[in-house]
Amino acid sequence: AQSVAQPEDQVNVAEGNPLTVKCTYSVSGNPYLFWYVQYPNRGLQFLLKYITGDNLVKGSYGFEAEFNKSQTSFHLKKPSALVSDSALYFCAVSRLSGTYKYIFGTGTRLKVLA
C-alpha cells in the first residue's frame, strides 16, 4: 500500500538551532514530494517540492528538503529556527497511479522555543 509517514508527532527545537522534520514514503514509481505548513485555523501553505534533479530542494522562508531515494525519505530542514516557524508541517506525495491525488502524512507539530 502506498503511504507517507511522519514519525514524529511533535518536534521541539530552540530558536537559532537547526531543525529537521522527518518524512518517509512508500510508493511505487517516481513520486512527486511536497512540504506544506499550516498555521492555526489557516489553510495549508506550499513550502517546496521535489520533482526530479538535484536532491536538495530549496523553498520558502529558508526551508529546504533533501530527497533520498535509497532511504525513501524527504526530510524538511532549516539551518536556524525562528519562533515564527512554530506550526504544523505536512509531507505529501503525488503522482499515484497516474492521478493528481495526494497522500498526506499525519503532520508534525514544530515548536520553536525562545
Partner 1 sequence: SQTIHQWPATLVQPVGSPLSLECTVEGTSNPNLYWYRQAAGRGLQLLFYSVGIGQISSEVPQNLSASRPQDRQFILSSKKLLLSDSGFYLCAWSVPGRETDTQYFGPGTRLTVL
Q: Give the footprint of partner 1 on this chain (CB under 8 A).
A: 32, 34, 36, 41-46, 49, 51, 88, 90, 94-95, 100-102, 104, 106-107
Q: Nine-digit cell at 76?
A: 524538511
β 10-14/64-68 pair status: unpaired
| Nearest distance, CB of residue 51 and partner 1, angstroms | 6
| Nearest distance, CB of residue 41 and partner 1, angstroms | 7
**54/100 with CB nearer partner 1:** 100
